Structure 1
Amino acid sequence: MIKKAVLPVAGLGTRFLPATKASPKEMLPIIDKPLIQYAVEEAVKAGIEEFLFITGKHKRAIEDHFDKAYELEERLKTAGKYELLDKINCFENLNFAYIRQKEPKGLGDAILCAKPFVKDEAFIVILSDDLIDPEYSILNEMMKIYEAKKAPVIALEEVPLSEVSRYGIVSGKTVNGYYIIDDLVEKPEASFSPSRLAIIGRYILTPQIFKYLENLQPGKSGEIQLTDALKSLLEETAIYGYILKGKRYDAGEKLGYLKTIVEFALKDREISSEFVKFLQEKLSNFYIN
């Protein structure tokens, strides 16, 4: 069983400046949880026990979030707020480690930083910008493929042709229920895209990936791209895709982030009723004006 997850969180979060000048983008809240917590909870449901965060400057808040908060815990105990106490103590049995990426050189370089932590084990990579519906166990579905094939598995989603230039894109075919990838291209122009199947932020990787990342030259953007390393790895081993069947929220840009908050608020039993009334009132006034 896969027990380790790598979460790259060293990005500068420039799309959310100035909010992310001194606070990590991954700590932006969706209702009452930061983005990074949703990622960790998703991994825990899939049986993950060890977590490595690839961090950068101004990311200390992530470490603090998953650490003990003794003064706060004592105040909650004194106030008898045990439900809140349970919410902030839900990670006590997990192991967290942190490695700093010295400079933002791309996702591939961030994954390479995880080599001492991963060693010779298969591992999961989660990009917290891509928030998957918590009721949908995408990692469990991907693990089934890994257990059957013992090869890398990548999460995929069909996107509009106008958006393919934002993603790594794959081509391939479905055989016996498995999507077998035969090519990967990083952010192609629409006219040259091999398909509309985009790589989204969930991967199951094997240690083989490291030798390709180590020898990879930076791409046009000056970054080490994981997609380029996977393309090279494809010459050595099969790579499988799992096409998303649930809901993905793109919380890595402003409009997607706002849409995510609204959808999660509508699902929240505590606030959904009043929130719907608020939206109806605002929309009514908006159309009148």
Structure 2
Amino acid sequence: MSQRLRKVVFPVAGLGTRFLPATKVVAKEMLPVLDRPLIQYAVDEAVDAGADTLVFVTNRYKHAIADYFDKAYELESKLAQSGKNDLLAIVQGTLPKHVRCVFVTQPEALGLGHAVLCARPVVGDEPFGVVLADDLIWNGKQPGALRQMTALLDGDVAGAVAVEEVPRDQTNKYGIVDTGGDASRAARMRHVVEKPKPEVAPSNLAIVGRYVLPGRIFELLEQTKPGAGGEIQLTDAIEALLGKNKVLAYRFEGTRFDCGNKLGLVKATLAMALEDPALAEATREFMASLR
């Protein structure tokens, strides 16, 4: 029987330098794909997986995400008085009532592993998810990637990471896993290394923005020394976890958009426009006109 995933961690302390100057005032995770920010897609995926506690690891300067999920009294009052109930429902629907947000400050930018470790006082010892909002994974009305991964948890499986194949010359941008040649959808991880050069990478199977991990990972993160880039790498703690626990590399169902760069954000926006009945035809016509 699969375990319920109650808590999901969102590391959102990054500066978003690839999107400057916009990210001088707009958090990267608040960049819109159509009319919804990236963080909304990520939160929806977490809620779909059963989460009721969302832990945002942020820095002392970023307040937009907290403001976005907070109640907007003046706006909601004006919409209600104007009878704009459809818009009111959209504003009030960013977060289900049973779901709570917890904000934790990462005092220094010491890497993804350190950001996850900052969530330990909230998460405790139970299994939890990690979602990187700039990896938008879309699966239509089917279960999201995190929900798919949560279904893998049982007494034998301690965790899972989402993976997909990347061009061999791009392995130095990702955590790369070795499954011993097992090409099944959910393969046991044998080894993982952070950002290896193509000539020494164990495969071209890359970790992409979704993790389901046991609470024990926090103890391992505390013991992890700075690795690639001088940062505390989550992949190094996962590598230590593999020695005693079964962790799966999961080839998720869905399409990933790397919205950490401009082209990925454009692709995601066009894909979402084509999913929208009100925009699909006009979007196709516009795209055809550019050829």
TM-score (norm 2): 0.93
* Residues 22, 58 of structure 1: 8 Å contact kept: no
C-alpha distance in 2 between matches for 1:222 and 1:179: 30
Query: Once the two structures are superposed, what CA deviation does each residue of 1:61-104 show, in whole Å capped at 9, x if it has no partner?
Result: 00000010011001111121111111111213310000010011
Following TM superposition, where does structure 1 have runs of at least 4 consecutive aligned residues deviating by more than 3 angstroms?
Answer: 173-178
Report the 3-state secondary structure (helix = DSSP H, G, I; strand = E; otherwise coil) of the residue aligned with 1:20: helix
> Match of 2:41?
38
- Structure 1 unaligned segments of length 5 or more: list them: 285-289
Q: Secondary structure at the match of 1:224?
A: coil
Residue 230 of structure 2: which of 219, 222, 246 is its match?
A: 222
Residues 154 and 240 of structure 1 are in contact (CA less than 8 Å); yes or no, is this contact kept in structure 2? Answer: yes
Question: 1:240 — aligned with what?
Answer: 248
User: 1:208 aligned to 216, 227, 232, which one?
Assistant: 216
Does the CA contact (< 8 Å) of 1:42 and 1:134 recur in 2? Answer: no
Q: Provide Cα deviations, 1:97-137, integer angstroms capped at 9, x if missing partner.
A: 00010011110000000110011111010000110114242
Match of 1:185 among 161, 180, 193: 193
1:77 and 2:96 aligned? no
Match of 1:278 among 269, 286, 290: 286
**Alpha-carbon separation, structure 2, partners of 1:267 and 1:177:** 26
Counterpart in 2 of 1:29? 32
What is the one-letter code of the residue matched to 2:260? G
- The separation in 2 between residues aligned to 1:213 and 1:63, in whole angstroms, is 27
Q: SS of the residue aligned with 1:235?
A: coil
User: Deviation at 1:220?
Assistant: 3.8
CA–CA distance in 2 between the matches of 1:57 and 1:2?
28
Aligned to 2:109: 104
Partner of 2:71: 68
For the 8 Å contact 1:249–1:260, the answer to whether it is kept is yes
Query: How far apart are 1:244 and its partner, in Å?
Result: 2.2
* Percent identity of equivalent pairs: 45
Match for 1:184: what amino acid? V
How far apart, in 2, do the equivalents of 1:214 and 1:148 lie?
Answer: 25
> Conserved in 1, the CA contact under 8 Å of 2:124 and 2:215?
yes
Q: 1:142-167, CA deviations, whole angstroms, 9 ceiling, x for partnerless residues?
A: 11211363401111111111211110
| Contact residue 12 and residue 20 of structure 1 kept, 8 A | yes
CA–CA separation in structure 2 for the residues paired with 1:177 and 1:66: 35
**SS of the counterpart of 1:239?**
strand
Q: CA deviation at 1:177?
A: 6.7
Deviations along 1:208-229, whole A, 9 cap, x unmatched?
Answer: 1111111111124121100011
Aligned CA distance change for structure 1 residues 148 and 269 (closer, same or farther; 3 Å): farther
User: Contact 2:163 / 2:251 at 8 angstroms: preserved in 1?
Assistant: yes
Q: How many residues align?
A: 283
Q: In the alignment, what sits opposite 2:127?
A: 122
- In structure 2, what residue type is equivalent to 1:12? L
* 1:169 and 2:176 are equivalent in the alignment: yes
* TM-score normalized with structure 1 length: 0.94
- The whole-number CA distance in structure 2 between the counterparts of 1:7 and 1:177 is 25
Amino acid of the structure 2 residue aligned with 1:258: V
